[in-house]
Amino acid sequence: MKKTLLTLMAMAAMSATALAAEIKPALVYGTGGKFDKSFNEAAFNGAEQFKKEAGVEFRDFEPTSDTQGEQAIRNFASRGFNPVVAVSFAWTSAMEKVAAEFPDTKFVIVDAVVDLPNVRSVVYKEEEGSYLVGLLAGMASQTGKAGFVGGMDIPLIRKFGCGYVQGVKAAKADATVFQNMVGTTGAAWNDPVRAGELTKNQIDQGADVIYAAAGASGLGVLQTAADNGKFGIGVDSNQNHLHPGKVLTSMVKRVDLAVFNAFKDTQDDKFTAGVQSLGVKEDGVTFAVDENNKALITPEMSAAVEKAKADIIAGTVKVHDYMSDNSCPN
């Protein structure tokens, strides 16, 4: 009797360890929602990709307000989910708190840096991707004037704008770039009306290619540009399909890769904490070409942008990062 009990206990213990080896990944989105055709959707696609390849289910949560993030991350961690991936800089402080409470759980945050031994921080060199689309914008512009509409006025978004300006000037040294920000609060990500008006304003001043780095407000930018027969440039996900033939290209941030790698590395027990900075070289940022915008990219533009890409990888072209010194050379 005693023996059977012992065997049972041993079996129970073994099955418990077997369970722990299997991973239970979880994903917390930013407040834009899962299918935002942009940032969060890319994260979702990465997780789906992992599910298809590894056959492991994941759980996800869509916070609808800024206060829900911490709750969601803690909830997943306390229920034994591992790794817990949170996309959006908005969860930085939440991640700092929760990751310290669960030192055995592996956490990943995208777009922000959290300095803890069990957290991997994935940041992107948005300035490099923005430089490439800026180069395309500069070459596509007839008027020599380009526009940039950012969401919330934070250094991260200025970084997009700064890289873009450098790209435009690389194509046309005397070009003008109008820069506007939708607002200074979180509401700026969700104000397509104001974003559209800012775009119209830039168009009235002569801009004919406008780059949107404004979350959901960017939809207003692309819409207004398309309505007025000008080009828009999408951001984060490939947004070329939103207005076929009217979106010059999109600056794609491979958030899907960050999520996929986080899941995969944990499964293979190769998870590393620390900062990962993904640029053009790591294929973390790039520009999108598909059937919707193929006709807009001329062979010269294609050649120039490929060359710029090679130069950035080789290190001969260095794109200034706004966040390194909070200023832009141009």
Partner 1 sequence: MEFFDIFVSILGSAVRLSVPLLFTALAGLFSERAGVFDIGLEGKMLAAAFASACAAYVTDSAWMGLLAGIGVSIVFSLVHGFASITNRGNQIVSGVALNFIALGLTVVLGQAWFGQGGRTPQVSGEGRFTPIILPGADAMREVPIIGPLYVNVISGNNILTYIAFLMVPIAWWVLFRTRFGLRLRAVGENPGAVDTAGISVAWMRYRAVIVAGFLCGFAGTYLSVAQSAAFIHNMSAGKGYIALAALIFAKWKPVPVMLACLLFGFLDAFANFMQGKSVPLIGEVPVQIFQAMPYILTCVLLAGFIGVARAPRAGGVPYVKER
Residues near partner 1 (CB under 8 A): 31-37, 40, 62, 64, 179-181, 184, 187, 190-194, 196-198, 200-201, 204-206, 216, 219-220, 223, 227, 242
Spatial neighbors of 198 by CB under 8 A, at least 6 apart, are 149, 180, 182, 221
Report, in Å, the least distance between residue 302 CB and partner 1: 29
Q: Which of 252, 186, 211 is nearest to 42 (CA)?
A: 252
User: H helices within the chain, ranges in order?
Assistant: 2-21, 39-54, 68-78, 92-101, 126-140, 155-171, 192-204, 217-227, 255-267, 299-314, 322-325
Q: What is the CA radius of gyration of the chain?
A: 22
Smaller CB separation from partner 1, 31 or 286:
31
Smaller CB separation from partner 1, 205 or 298:
205
Residue with tokens 């500069």: 138
Report, in Å, the least distance between residue 130 CB and partner 1: 18
User: For residues 139 and 301, what is the distance between their CA atoms, to the nearest angstrom?
Assistant: 7
β-bridge pairing 274-278 and 59-61: unpaired
Q: Which of 290, 218, 283, 295 is nearest to 257 (CA)?
A: 283
Smaller CB separation from partner 1, 130 or 276:
130
> In the numeric block, which tokens belong to residue 258?
């960050």
Smaller CB separation from partner 1, 42 or 219:
219
Report, in Å, the least distance between residue 72 CB and partner 1: 14
CA separation, residue 138 to residues 20, 145, 168, 191, 223 (Å): 53, 8, 4, 27, 20
Smaller CB separation from partner 1, 167 or 183:
183
Report, in Å, the least distance between residue 108 CB and partner 1: 21
Q: Which of 286, 329, 32 is nearest to 158 (CA)?
A: 329
Report, in Å, the least distance between residue 30 CB and partner 1: 9
User: For residues 54 and 266, what is the distance between their CA atoms, to the nearest angstrom?
Assistant: 12
DSSP summary character for residue 1: -
SS3 183: strand
Smaller CB separation from partner 1, 131 or 178:
178
User: For residues 283 and 260, what is the distance between their CA atoms, to the nearest angstrom?
Assistant: 14
Smaller CB separation from partner 1, 198 or 288:
198
> In the numeric block, which tokens belong to residue 72?
């969601």
SS3 148: strand
Report, in Å, the least distance between residue 47 CB and partner 1: 15
Report, in Å, the least distance between residue 267 CB and partner 1: 27
Smaller CB separation from partner 1, 43 or 139:
43
Report, in Å, the least distance between residue 73 CB and partner 1: 18
